[in-house]
A and B are shown apart, each in its own frame.
Chain A
Amino acid sequence: MAISFDNALGIHEQALYLRSRRAEVLANNLANADTPNFKARDVDFSSLLSQAGKALQQGNAASEPRRTNSRHLGLDAAGDGQLLYRVPNQPAVDGNTVEEHAEMARFAKNGQDFEASLYFLNSKFRGLQTAIRGEI
């Protein structure tokens, strides 16, 4: 097939996936806002995205080690090792580092960025459709 979705959609597919993963991490932080000793976590989005971009350029299959058994631990881009701990502005007495307002703001921002990625993907699809139809 002449159309390769990987080439056509570019980085936005990866960005969308990373956004949805980050939403999960932030949701987990918010749900644990009252859990003693819970440490808020987040991902370094730009480094993950650049990693995904490099993987895209080199071809997906080559850069990511394949799992031959379902019980092998993954080394995927958004895996355990990439989750970082947040440094709180005001540490709480109970050892919890979730700052609800800040997390909520990040969650909202992440949602908007998700929308942006979706918008770009939609534009790509529209472009493809226009190309297929041959209309202007």
Chain B
Amino acid sequence: MNSIFDIAGQGMTAQSVRLNTVASNLANAQSAASSVDQVYRARHPLFAAVQKDAMDAQAGWSDAPDAGEEGMGVQVLGVVESQAPLERRYEPGHPLADKDGYVLYPNVNVVEEMADMISASRSFQINVEMLQSAKTMAQRLLSLGQ
């Protein structure tokens, strides 16, 4: 049952990385740039389930009955930049405008990011609740036979 704490911890870490990217995306939603290389692109984390190697698990805890489980927890493989097309706005008065009067804006979809934010914070909440239930279970188990 101890692995629930690890799983919930990993879940919370993953969700906070996601919240972090959302915050970064929203903060930079209006960061204009004059060239394609410099403009900010929306970032998204890549989640994957942690697969435990059965052989390693067995070797580490030789006779533990719960060794070699199929998967335990979630991990963030990395943060990828969105390939969505950048936004080109015609703003000739803008100091960063190119010679045609266009300014490049990031490909951040604010609506999508807000929805993502709500989803991430809900998932975080679920992980916290899971941790609390596991804690209650562990505490009750410790008081067994008293």
Known A24-B3, A32-B47, A70-B62; contact A83-B70, beta-carbon cutoff 8 A: yes
From DSSP, what is the main secondary structure of chain B's interface residues? Answer: helix
A121 at interface, CB cutoff 8 A = yes
Beta-carbon nearest neighbor of B13 in chain A: A31
**B70, A80: Cβ atoms under 8 Å?**
yes
Give every chain B residue within 8 A of A78 (Cβ-Cβ). Answer: 65-66
From DSSP, what is the main secondary structure of chain A's interface residues? Answer: helix
Number of interface residues of B (CB under 8 A): 45
Give every chain B residue within 8 A of A57 (Cβ-Cβ). Answer: none
**B145, A34: Cβ atoms under 8 Å?**
no
B108-139 CB mask vs A (1 if < 8 Å, else 0) is 00000000000110110011011001101100
Q: Give the residue of A16, A23, A24, A35 whose beta carbon is less than 8 angstroms from that of B74.
A: A35
Q: Which residues of B contact A (CB under 8 A)?
A: 1, 3-4, 7-8, 10-11, 14-15, 18, 47-49, 54-55, 58-59, 62-63, 65-74, 119-120, 122-123, 126-127, 129-130, 133-134, 136-137, 140-141, 144-145
**A24, B136: Cβ atoms under 8 Å?**
no
Give every chain A residue within 8 A of B145 (Cβ-Cβ). Answer: 121-122, 125
- Distance in Å from the Cβ of A100 to the closest Cβ of chain B? 6
Q: Which residues of A contact B (CB under 8 A)?
A: 16-17, 20-21, 23-24, 27-28, 30-36, 38, 41, 67, 70-74, 76, 78-80, 83, 100, 104, 107-108, 111, 114-115, 118, 121-122, 125
